[in-house]
Amino acid sequence: MNVDVSTAARRGWRGPVEAATAMFLVGTLAGVSGVIGEYPVYGGQALRYLLAAVILLAVARLAGLRFVRLTPRETALLAALSLTGLVIFNVCVIEATRHGGPALVGTVLGTVPLALALLGGRPSPRLVGAAAVVVAGATVATGLGSGDLTGLLWSLGALGCEVCFSLLAIPLLPKLGAVRVSAYSVTLAVPMLVVTGLLVDGAAMIRVPTAPELAGLGYQSLIVTSVAFFLWYDALPRLGPATAGLFAGLIPVGAIATGAVLGLGVPSAPDLLGAALVVAGIVIGLSSAGSPAAGERRPTGTRRPAAGESRPVGAG
């Protein structure tokens, strides 16, 4: 039987490329958040997710993906995903940036690979070691010592929410697929943010954004939310949480690149060294046991995915 080696290779690299791109784009959030720092937090994020919901629901319709009836458990998982991974996460990042700066946030989020490696199943010692290398690289790239206790607490909150963003989605992906998980989660986030904004800021939660603020919110909606969410949720079941988590080390790399593009600073030697360590850790992790990593929990079931759905971990 002939085997299309090139097709198999493309499938093998799809997950890593998607995960790397998604986490790099998420890393650009810190720099762009500075552009909208003066805009009301809850109102701004509600606008961001509203636009993203329109985009993702339109993509789902064009792809022929029908609405799927959810069980009470799946509804609870999706609501928890929206609340923690989207709403609270973004509030934590914005507040942490205000108190401690992007360096502190990037350093704490750099521990995501280690957290997912430890929580994602039974990772091999080499995979845990690779996660540690990625964490070290993220720490070197962003630097320690900035911010205060308040900024640190907000950053730790963002870390917990980032972990929930992945782990809560894993049971939903085999049935819903990447597009619908992304679309449903951002749609649920809108009323949560509107209600919170009205309680906290009242009518002041919404105002006409300036041109830079509008550009920043548009970038967050289209790139950081619509594109990055789909790529991450498509890669997650292909790689498993521990292996996919390694690519979270690219978050500070994306922040550094964004800072350079926006003229906020030229990458320093520690920045470049940290980026090199992150890449080295990812390579070690991917070569440790293949994708997904040996010993990770894998969703069970043999149902053939519908069009547009993600394959269960290990499928194909």
The predicted-structure confidence for 237-277, as pLDDT tens digits, reads as follows: 998 888 888 888 788 778 777 777 776 666 677 767 877 78
Which pLDDT does position 265 carry in this prediction? 62
- Per-residue pLDDT, averaged over 7-15, amounts to 70
Place of tokens 């040996």: 294
Assign 310 a pLDDT band (cuts: 50, 70, 90).
very low
- Per-residue pLDDT, averaged over 18-24, amounts to 92
Tens of pLDDT, residue by residue over 185-232, are: 999 999 999 999 999 899 899 999 999 899 989 999 999 999 999 999
pTM to 2 decimal places: 0.76
Residues 6+ apart with CB under 8 A from 89: 158, 161, 162, 165
Assign 292 a pLDDT band (cuts: 50, 70, 90).
very low
Which pLDDT does position 6 carry in this prediction? 57
User: 268: left (phi > 0), else alpha (psi -120 to 50), else beta?
Assistant: beta
- Per-residue pLDDT, averaged over 71-79, amounts to 95
Which pLDDT does position 311 carry in this prediction? 40
From CA 61, how far away is CA 54, in angstroms rounded? 11
Tell which residue, 29, 15, 8, 5, has the closest CA to residue 257: 29
Assign 143 a pLDDT band (cuts: 50, 70, 90).
low
C-alpha distances (whole Å) from 223 to each of 16, 51, 52, 274 are: 18, 11, 9, 25
